[in-house]
Amino acid sequence: MSRAKPVTLSDLRRHAVARTLFRPTTLIDAIRRLGFVQADPIRAPARAQDLTLRHRVRDYRAGDLERRYPRLPVEEDALVNYGFLPREHLALMHPRTARRPWDADTQRRAASVLAFIREQGPSHPKAVQAAFNHGRTTNAWGGQSNAVTHLLDGMHYRGLLRVARREAGVRVYAVAAHADDERSPAERAAALLRLVLDKYAPLPTRSLGQLVSHLGYGAPQLQAELRVALADARRQLPSATIDGLTWLWPADENPRSARHAPADEVRLLAPFDPIVWDRLRLELLWGWAYRFEAYTPAPRRRWGYYALPLLWRDQVVGWANLSLRQGQLLPEVGFIAGQPQDAGFTTAMDEELQRMHQFLAREV
């Protein structure tokens, strides 16, 4: 009887790309398949959530998520970081218990704001500010921010409020109503772990551990259960050890599937796209250390302000910084080991830049 061939890094590379670059579908189906879409306010040339969705949603244009959000069963909320997720996932994390409890005065102010929004309906922070002038407070970055905005953020995080829509990028809040979840804390923790594994697999064990640590942001009250779920996953999930590192993936997936043959396409990825989100995995699979440098001082940047990793077939071979000037898309492209000489690369790159320009059409 012949033994199955061992899983290789090449298998994992193909699997990492193929499992998340699924055939473009509807917006809600894509968000459900991804499980979570990380958000970022920087637009260079578009926001991260739009750059992620454009590969996975038919005829997607920059800003479609924000425009359609009020009609979708989708919520802005916290998971491993802040972003968009299907509404049904909120029950896994709410009621959320923040690590820092409010004092009695903050609780009273929150109760007053909650009563105001319940009576008035979806409310812009300026409308709340007009009714409740609570002065100013120091925010997490050491600067000064409006105390009402700070309070609204805290109420949203604790599940008292939800984002009903955005106006010029500003959150408009409504009172939240969360569905009951009869699952035990242990079952919810296991479901959360599966959610992030489904999104970011295949993963080195260290990366899965870091993701579970990040889940302490979305579900701080489940930290003990998440540690148990992680230990169970490490014992039970299919795995492969390559160059001394153990990799994990969902039990119903096969990294060696023939269906993972890469397409002859170029993709410019968001810095937080699931293919490149885990920097350790990216370095292990593709041999170079990409960094997001928007907050790095310009003289110290290697890749650029908002470098988009460049995927050719199943190889992340470089990066591109894009800008729009007078309606024209201007790319600055760099390669780790020189431009690929494969037949078809130049054509595929041109096609991707054309797709990007169409995607940005409403932003121009």
Strands 245-248, 239-242: pairing kind: antiparallel
Q: Which residues contact 55 (CB under 8 A, 6 or more apart)?
A: 21, 24, 267, 269, 273
**Full-model pTM:** 0.93
pLDDT by position in tens, the chain (length 364): 446 789 999 999 999 999 999 999 999 999 999 999 999 999 999 999 999 999 999 999 999 999 999 999 999 999 999 999 999 999 999 999 998 899 999 999 999 999 999 999 999 999 998 887 756 565 554 454 588 889 999 999 999 999 999 999 999 999 999 888 889 999 999 999 999 999 999 999 999 999 999 999 999 999 999 999 999 999 999 999 999 999 999 999 999 987 778 899 999 999 999 999 999 999 999 999 999 999 999 999 999 999 999 999 999 999 999 998 888 899 999 999 999 998 899 999 999 999 999 999 865 4
Domains of the chain: 104-175 (1.10.10)
Query: Is the alpha carbon torsion for 6, 13, 28, 217 positive or negative?
Result: positive
pLDDT value of residue 141: 42
Q: Minimal CA–CA distance to 265: which of 185, 167, 342?
A: 342
SS3 label, residue 68: helix
Residue 236 and residue 197 in contact, taking contact as beta carbons nearer than 8 Å: no
Strands 266-268, 308-312: pairing kind: antiparallel
State the maximum Cα–Cα separation within the chain, in Å, rounded to a whole number. Answer: 76
Q: Which residues contact 110 (CB under 8 A, 6 or more apart)?
A: 102, 151, 154, 155, 160
pLDDT value of residue 135: 62
- Exposed e or buried b per residue across 295-319, where buried means at least 16 C-beta atoms within 10 angstroms of its C-beta: eeeeeeeebbebbbbbbbbbbbbbb
